[in-house]
Amino acid sequence: MTPLEQRIGYKFRNSLLLAEAMTHPSIGYETQRHHLDNQRLEFLGDAVLQLIFTRHLFDLFPKHSEGLLTKMRARLVSREGLKVHAVALGLGEFLMMGRGEEKSGGRTRAAALADAFEALVGAIYLDSDLLTVDQFVLNVAEEELARLLADPEEANPKGQLQELLQSMSPKSPLYVILSSEGPEHAKKFTSAIFWLGEELGRGAGGSKKEAEIAAAVDAQIHERWKLPKTV
């Protein structure tokens, strides 16, 4: 087993998958040549993590509402949450990346580490099966899941999103109530969140606060600030 396989406790049948998962896209950008990187595996791993955590939370909290389950899942799959797992596994030291990216602190950058963890999950899934990767993910996330079990409502999606966005710009996000429907005793509100002229997310709830929280969760899940700006 390679040192990284020993670290993660999994032996790859196809070692090329592990190499691909640990290849940062900066290598291709720097060499200006086609080079396999971890972006496709990151895409797959994100979906696998969503499924694993969704199913586990569904079983773990049988009486919790969809809104609270969504908040907890967002906490588990957030960039900072995945970075913690990547750091615990020491993925930064195994990343293959361009010299410029490395010199600028790429090995400790939250985005690079979170992407590497997602890519690793995608690689293990392709190399084995859902049961194997499920066991790997739940083992790695054991401490965070224990904290959720102790305090499932600890998450503060609006505060987390505000902190994340203000790390990129001092401009604060704006929440707008788009609609309110239904009778007074059972109203349903829909809220949207805007930042730098772009809509980042939408959500609905039985109160304005719940709708805003749902919009913040939607924004964190889809990370629309990463998308190219529309003209």
User: Catalytic amino acids?
Assistant: 46, 118
- CB-based contacts of 129, cutoff 8 Å, min separation 6: none
Residue for token pair 């190399």: 127
| Torsion angle, alpha carbons of 192, 197, 200, 203, to 10 | 0
CB 62 within 8 A of CB 134: no
Query: What type of residue sits at position 197?
Result: G
CA distances from 38 to 20, 116, 174, 228 (A): 5, 7, 34, 20
CB 81 within 8 A of CB 148: no
CB 92 within 8 A of CB 18: no
- CB-based contacts of 226, cutoff 8 Å, min separation 6: none
Question: Which of 4, 21, 24 shows the shortest CA–CA distance to 103?
Answer: 24
**CA neighbours closer than 13 Å in the CB half-sphere of residue 115:** 21
